[in-house]
Structure 1
């Protein structure tokens, strides 16, 4: 039975309202005695003491860290890994429903990487496959302690800290594909709220993805990514949004997300 850290990023959501936390707790059983649920509260409001007390009465294997600055997810992931050496990890947003089947699968997983089938609006959305290899999202991703050691031998960190939110998964799977690291696809699915699919047009999110993809082009080049950048570029040209285009150009040149802020 694996010792697993379930690393959950809480963002402007109450602990009791998180689908990820609720589903993990509901699936918890006696075989999880050496596993932990670590919650990083990355939203604006503190998790109150009474709420922490209530959740720990339900499950004593829970730890909560108050970040409160909307911090970089890549840095939070890496810090969680650094503080819990020897563990295997499952990374989760706060809005992912983890099925009992997938939960039990990661506890007994012998793979270094396990990718769940990610379902949104009754559609299988991830993983996707291109000529360059596999691509998925980090929510629901399982990685072993062995993989952590392998990736830190390539680089000092598992996740590329040049990316705060968007681009983290692109960078991670580029390393997996480049180094031909074996992975398994789960036969079980997770229900995940993919905001860009469920909430219609969101210009802010589209800008952030555009900047992250532009920053990824040089270090993590592939034709699928190039196609995304070019397609989005034409959208911003049509909108005459030259500030975003310039930010994307600077991000491309510097290989990190750079935002040009409007000054008064």
Structure 2
């Protein structure tokens, strides 16, 4: 059971975007269309944003001139806002509905994730072992994206006690989500499905040009997954990385990929 102690607020909503104001994002607009949009505290972090930070009513807008790694942003917020019972994390392009919010807020689970739909097709969560979409009745043994995840304060403290931070800061962009679920699996934490949201997923909807930003970030994720979470990834993953590096050879990408392998850490600005 989640501890609803009197000295803690109910729920903190965390939204992370790249150089956007709150009203420019689908997540914030749909959140505000629900009754919870004015009831719950919201931290909106805008990476690589030149404007001013501000606080207004229940909204804390943080303008970061730097483009920080997503794992660093999440950990920064979670480590510096300890007075909540639960924390809900969203990307900037989720369509949030009131039914989903209500079901999560009333849940006593340590962690819950929504069914994620893209174009009315369920795409997450997926089974850790098979990578196939799991049925809505299944609890545990799966992974999902960051957007829509809800973590209890007690679980956050449990993860930090084992790993130092909730999110693995070796990952910069892709992989921040799956690496978290691998940590939860190692800790024996039961993840529960709760509610449903619709979402825009670049990893599913786009074909990336070789050596573009997202293509490189996916490459870095694969390198780090192979090195740090071999139990959950095929040993042939590194072979696929090497093949891509040579088939789509680019001196800059090759140099940065080798750097990621040696440092065991990626950067969102690479």
> Fold conserved (TM > 0.5)?
yes
Change (3 A) 1:223 1:114: closer
Cα 1:169–1:232 change in 2 (3 A) is same
Using a 3 Å threshold, how does the CA distance of structure 1 residues 155 and 103 change in structure 2: closer, same or farther? same
Q: Are positions 1:251 and 2:256 aligned together?
A: no
Q: 5+ unaligned residues in a row in structure 2: which ranges?
A: 131-140
TM-score after normalising by structure 2:
0.82
Deviates more, 1:61-70 or 1:124-133: 124-133
Aligned equivalents of 2:18 and 2:68: distance in 1? 10
Q: 1:182 to 1:233 in 2, by over 3 A?
A: same
1:98 maps to which of 89, 92, 96: 96
| 1:68-87 superposed matches below 5 A | 68-87=65-84
Provide the residue aligned with 2:21 in structure 1.
Answer: 14
Question: 2:136: which partner in 1?
Answer: none
TM-score (norm 1): 0.83
Does the 8 Å contact 2:173/2:268 carry over to 1?
no
1:1-264 residue pairs with structure 2 within 5 A?
3-29=10-36, 33=39, 35-46=40-51, 56=56, 60-87=57-84, 88-131=86-129, 133-186=141-194, 188-203=195-210, 204=212, 205-224=214-233, 226-241=235-250, 243-257=252-266
Q: Which moved more, 1:228-237 or 1:143-152?
A: 228-237
Unpaired runs of 5+ residues, structure 1, are none
How many residues are aligned here?
A: 250
Measured in 1, the distance between the counterparts of 2:190 and 2:83 equals 20
Q: Distance in 2 between matches of 1:13 and 1:213?
A: 28
Q: In terms of mean alpha carbon deviation, does 173-182 or 12-21 score higher?
A: 12-21
Question: Which aligned segments of 4 or more residues in structure 1 are displaced greater than 4 angstroms?
Answer: 225-229, 258-261
Alpha carbons of 1:193 and 1:206: their partners in 2 closer, same or farther (altered >3 Å)?
A: same
Cα drift, residue 229 of structure 1: 4.4
